[in-house]
């Protein structure tokens, strides 16, 4: 059949007890009834399909259904298209071959359908049917020939075929469809083939010798799987010829109402060809200058880090707010001249600590109760006084917008805001570095416009970097210093902003308790603030990353819309052949 490609309370009086006992029994019986009905439903974990396309446009389709079947008598697959001929239908279950029933009776008993298969003819087409045969975990394998699939058009050969129907009574959790040519010499590639898939969330790709369509999340009843493929002339010699172009008759109709439609770019194809030419040129240049572009930068990076480590070793402790309080400058210097393993900046978390310290944001607790009464406490951020510095004001405005009319920000509101208006958050995150660099340039800290080597900094720039390095060294090592230098915890409240920026707040708070044991209660309060800021930092950072991906996905979607493979479209795919409505088990 062909190889499938690779998924109750003490002290009650007797009357009350008896009534309670009867109620308990009734509830128990009712619960068992509900559980039985819940778990008796059939579940198809995966449907795998191997589509072997033949030169004349017909195909052999081999399917494997893996699942749990606990009700009904048969599996059925409607094909509501009378122009399609189906032959050579064959079925097996767990390696046991079925026998064909020349006339299929859908009302027949479970026993009479066991290990038998047949075709049921309907007003709209046919249904491929076979018996469930045994309840429990089953794997059904069946195959059939179908003609036609690929048709010839004036410009291309191709098809738009429904391989998974919508509204199936037993729906697959996942699908995997492999499509290839019966002639192994005729392979699909991005030069001769285009592919689109509709009706579910997943991906469609063209590989060297086959195309693959698969789901990325579980399907639901309204989903379906239509696949459209377009081939250059020469791959097939279809028996069915259609007057007109594939693009106008099939492709344009299928793309209507699809997510591909919004991503289409008429100039993409020309841009791709231009890029291919440039890639060849760049490749030649790359080979020619390999040593200078790969080896030399490695040594340069090594020398840069060695120089910066020497500079860090020589700087004195700095016990004050660095860079005149311009946190964007501190962020930029800490990031660009970073010699620590932790590369990711905690700028967003530091800003939130600053905003809580300055009463721009006020943590408030909200208690909720789950289904079984389990208490859950969430910490939200209430909007407070408006900040005065521009950078904090920018983030404050985003939080105000996300918080809504009640002025209290919840994590879920922030995620929803980033999804609804992705560019605002992405724009803020993207502006952080440039604001720091602009401030450093304004203060004549660079020998040129920008740089990441020590020699790229002016004397003023090196002084600014020494403050950052000095504060970080002090926060890292202050428990080792005999003269603590700081007794005022209010100052520590401000320095913890920078400990958060450096990603060492947890370490500093732990050491503070050793140095100032009389201030443990106050330090615990700071710990909560840092924890809150980290929680919202994660949400902000991940939300901005997801928002950036959504924006970048637009360019990727243009590739998928052009048929070169990529994400599928939830909608669209109209004008298909084959398939139909419903199916599953009954």
Q: Given a cut of 90, is residue 59 above it in pLDDT?
A: yes
Q: Given a cut of 60, is residue 36 above it in pLDDT?
A: no
pLDDT at 221: 74
Structure letter (DSSP) for residue 249:
I
Mean pLDDT over 423-427 rounds to 74
Query: Which residues of 199-303 form beta strands (DSSP E)?
Result: 202-206, 211-215, 225-231
pLDDT higher at 36 or 270: 270
* DSSP H or E segment with residue 104: none
Relative orientation angle of helices 520-561 and 505-515, to the nearest 10 degrees: 180
Summarize pLDDT for 382-419 with one digit per residue, the tens.
999 999 888 899 899 989 988 888 999 888 888 788 77
Rounded CA gap, 291 and 580, in Å?
60
* DSSP H or E segment with residue 457: none
Mean pLDDT over 9-25 rounds to 41
Relative orientation angle of helices 520-561 and 347-357, to the nearest 10 degrees: 140
Q: Provide the b/e sequence for 59-80 (b: ≥16 CB within 10 Å).
A: bbbbbbbbbbbeebbbbbbbbb
* pLDDT band per the 50, 70, 90 thresholds, residue 470: very high
Q: Provide the b/e sequence for 174-197 (b: ≥16 CB within 10 Å).
A: bbbbbbbbeeeebbbebebbbbbb
Q: Is the dihedral of CA 34, 35, 40, 41 positive or negative?
A: positive
Rounded CA gap, 547 and 561, in Å?
21
Rounded CA gap, 185 and 457, in Å?
61
- Sheet with 74-79, strands from edge to edge, namely 99-100, 116-121, 126-131, 74-79, 584-585
Give me the residue label for tokens 């019986």.
Answer: 29
Structure-block tokens of residue 190: 């991005």
Mean pLDDT over 207-218 rounds to 86
- Sheet with 225-231, strands from edge to edge, namely 151-152, 157-164, 225-231, 193-198
pLDDT at 430: 73
pLDDT at 371: 60
Q: Given a cut of 50, is residue 11 above it in pLDDT?
A: no
**Considering the entire predicted model, what is its pTM?**
0.49
Q: Given a cut of 60, is residue 465 above it in pLDDT?
A: yes
Return the minimum-mean-pLDDT range out of 115-124, 272-281, 450-459, 534-543: 272-281
Summarize pLDDT for 353-378 with one digit per residue, the tens.
999 989 999 988 777 666 666 776 77
pLDDT at 481: 59
Mean pLDDT over 214-221 rounds to 83
Mean pLDDT over 243-267 rounds to 80
Mean pLDDT over 449-472 rounds to 92
Return the minimum-mean-pLDDT range out of 4-8, 141-145, 505-509, 549-553: 4-8
Distance between the two ends of the chain, CA-based, in angstroms? 25
CB atoms within 10 A of CB 102: 6
Three-class SS of residue 92?
strand
pLDDT at 40: 42
Smallest CA-to-CA distance from 129 within 176, 80, 89 is with 89
Rounded CA gap, 124 and 347, in Å?
63
Smallest CA-to-CA distance from 346 within 491, 477, 534, 511 is with 534
Summarize pLDDT for 552-578 with one digit per residue, the tens.
555 556 666 777 777 788 888 888 988
Q: Given a cut of 70, is residue 436 above it in pLDDT?
A: yes
pLDDT at 30: 42
pLDDT at 547: 62
Rounded CA gap, 100 and 132, in Å?
14
Average pLDDT of the chain? 82
Rounded CA gap, 485 and 487, in Å?
7
Greatest mean pLDDT range, 34-38, 184-188, 429-433 = 184-188
CB atoms within 10 A of CB 575: 16
Q: Given a cut of 80, is residue 167 above it in pLDDT?
A: yes
What's the farthest any 2 CA atoms get from each other in the chain?
A: 97
pLDDT higher at 296 or 18: 296
Summarize pLDDT for 303-330 with one digit per residue, the tens.
888 899 999 999 999 988 999 999 999 9
* DSSP H or E segment with residue 119: strand 116-121
* pLDDT band per the 50, 70, 90 thresholds, residue 273: low
Q: Are 561 and 251 in contact (CB under 8 A)?
A: no
Mean pLDDT over 413-441 rounds to 80
Q: Given a cut of 60, is residue 29 above it in pLDDT?
A: no
pLDDT at 34: 40
Q: Given a cut of 70, is residue 482 above it in pLDDT?
A: no
Smallest CA-to-CA distance from 50 within 181, 231, 233, 206 is with 181
Rounded CA gap, 475 and 477, in Å?
6
Rounded CA gap, 33 and 27, in Å?
10
Q: Given a cut of 60, is residue 293 above it in pLDDT?
A: no
Rounded CA gap, 146 and 126, in Å?
12
Structure letter (DSSP) for residue 114:
T
Alpha-carbon torsion angle 386, 391, 394, 395, nearest 10: -80
């Amino acid at each position: 059949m062909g190889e499938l490609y690779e998924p109750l309370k003490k002290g009650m009086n007797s009357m009350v007890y008896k009534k309670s006992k009867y109620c308990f029994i009734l509830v128990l019986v009712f619960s068992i009834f509900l559980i039985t009905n819940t778990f008796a439903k059939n579940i198809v974990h995966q449907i795998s399909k191997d589509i072997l396309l033949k030169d004349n446009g017909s195909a052999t389709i081999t399917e494997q259904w893996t699942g749990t079947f606990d009700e009904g008598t048969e599996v059925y697959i409607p094909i509501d298209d009378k122009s399609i001929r189906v032959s050579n239908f064959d079925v097996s279950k767990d390696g046991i071959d079925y026998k064909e029933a020349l006339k299929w009776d859908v009302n027949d008993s479970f026993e009479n359908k066991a290990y038998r298969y047949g075709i049921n003819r309907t007003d709209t087409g046919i249904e491929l049917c076979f018996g469930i045969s045994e309840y429990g975990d089953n794997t059904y394998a069946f195959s059939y020939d179908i003609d036609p699939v690929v048709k010839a058009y004036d410009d291309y050969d191709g098809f738009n075929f429904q391989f998974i129907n919508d509204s199936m009574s037993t729906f697959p959790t996942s699908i995997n469809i492999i499509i290839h040519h019966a002639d192994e010499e005729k392979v699909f590639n991005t030069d001769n083939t285009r592919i689109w898939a509709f009706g579910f969330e997943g991906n469609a790709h063209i590989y060297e010798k086959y195309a693959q369509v698969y789901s990325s999340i579980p399907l639901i009843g309204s989903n379906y799987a239509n696949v459209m493929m377009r081939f250059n002339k020469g791959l097939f010699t279809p028996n069915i010829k259609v007057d007109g172009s594939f693009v106008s008759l099939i492709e344009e109709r299928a793309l209507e109402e699809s997510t591909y439609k919004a991503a289409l770019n008429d100039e993409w194809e020309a841009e791709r060809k231009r890029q291919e030419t440039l890639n060849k040129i760049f490749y030649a240049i790359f080979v020619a200058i390999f040593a200078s572009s790969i080896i030399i930068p490695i040594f340069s990076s090594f020398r840069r880090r060695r120089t910066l480590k020497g500079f860090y070793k020589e700087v004195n402790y700095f016990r004050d707010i660095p860079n005149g309080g311009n946190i964007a400058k501190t962020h930029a210097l800490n990031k660009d001249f970073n010699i620590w393993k932790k590369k990711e900046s905690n700028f967003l978390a530091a800003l939130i600590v600053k905003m809580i310290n300055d009463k721009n944001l006020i943590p408030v607790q909200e208690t909720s109760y789950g289904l079984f009464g389990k208490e859950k406490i969430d910490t939200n951020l209430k909007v407070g006084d408006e900040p005065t510095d521009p950078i904090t004001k920018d983030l404050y405005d985003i939080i105000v917008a996300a918080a809504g009319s009640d002025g209290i920000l919840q994590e879920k509101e922030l995620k929803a805001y980033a999804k609804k208006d992705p560019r605002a958050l992405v724009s803020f995150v993207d502006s952080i570095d440039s604001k720091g660099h602009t401030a450093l340039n304004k203060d004549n800290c660079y020998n040129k416009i920008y740089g990441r080597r020590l020699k790229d900094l002016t004397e003023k720039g090196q002084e600014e970097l020494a403050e950052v390095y000095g504060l970080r060294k002090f926060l890292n090592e202050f428990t080792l210093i005999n003269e603590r230098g700081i007794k005022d915890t209010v100052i520590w409240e401000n320095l913890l902003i920078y400990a958060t920026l450096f990603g060492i707040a947890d370490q500093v708070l732990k050491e503070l308790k050793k140095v100032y044991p009389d201030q443990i209660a106050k330090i615990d309060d700071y710990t909560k603030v840092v924890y809150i800021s980290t929680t919202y930092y994660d949400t902000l950072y991940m939300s901005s990353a997801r928002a950036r991906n959504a924006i970048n996905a637009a360019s990727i979607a243009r590739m998928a819309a052009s048929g070169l493979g990529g994400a599928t479209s939830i909608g669209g795919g109209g004008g298909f052949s084959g398939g139909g409505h419903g199916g599953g088990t009954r």
